[in-house]
């Protein structure tokens, strides 16, 4: 299961909260994490997550496309109250091997086989 492998990697890491206050200086936080040999993880699944070791979260382009479907239904006359509430269905796991090497970590092959994206 994907989360079990991720939990093994992140057992001794710190996570970044998804708020603007933390998102702005995240590169500095990642650099400090590498200097202190502490891996960082975020919930923003993106190759743009800087120097973090891993991210696991919503695939935002897919999420936005689904939102557009709702807007289309409303524009065609559907009542918003009649539309079902949906949760994200596509999550992404991204591993940054460059950061893993800087931290002296080896990501197990079993985890790499489950990853959606690898940042070299």
Q: Which two tokens stand for residue 115?
A: 């990853």
CATH number at residue 24: 3.40.50.2300
Kindly report which listed range (1-5, 14-18, 41-45) carries the lowest average pLDDT score: 1-5
Q: Which of 15, 6, 23, 56 is nearest to 39 (CA)?
A: 15
Q: Give the structural domain span for 27.
A: 2-59+90-119
Q: Is residue 30 part of a domain?
A: yes
What is the average per-residue pLDDT within 17-26? Answer: 48
78 located within any domain: no
Residue 69 placed within a domain: no
Query: Average of pLDDT values for 87-105?
Result: 86
Per residue in 26-50, pLDDT (tens digit) is 667 677 777 777 777 777 665 456 6
pLDDT tens-place string over residues 106-118: 889 998 999 988 8
Q: Does residue 64 lie in a domain region?
A: no
Considering its fold, how many domains does the chain have in total? 1
Give, in degrees to the nearest 5, the angle at Cα 70 between 81 and 116. Answer: 125
pLDDT category at 4 given cuts 50, 70, 90 is: very low
Could you tell me if residue 75 is inside a domain? Answer: no
**Domain assignment present for 23:** yes
With respect to residue 26, please indicate whether it lies within any of the assigned structural domains.
yes
């Amino acid at each position: 299961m994907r989360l079990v492998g991720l939990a093994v990697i992140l057992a001794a890491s710190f996570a970044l909260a998804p708020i603007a206050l933390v998102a702005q200086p995240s590169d500095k936080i990642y650099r400090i994490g590498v200097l202190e040999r502490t891996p960082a993880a975020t919930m923003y699944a993106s190759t743009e997550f800087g120097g973090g070791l891993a991210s696991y979260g919503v695939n935002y382009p897919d999420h936005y496309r689904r939102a557009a479907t709702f807007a289309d239904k409303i524009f065609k006359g559907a009542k918003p109250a009649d539309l079902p509430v949906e949760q994200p269905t596509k999550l992404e796991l991204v591993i940054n091997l460059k950061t893993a090497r800087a931290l002296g970590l080896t990501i197990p092959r079993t985890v790499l086989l489950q990853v959606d994206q690898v940042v070299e």
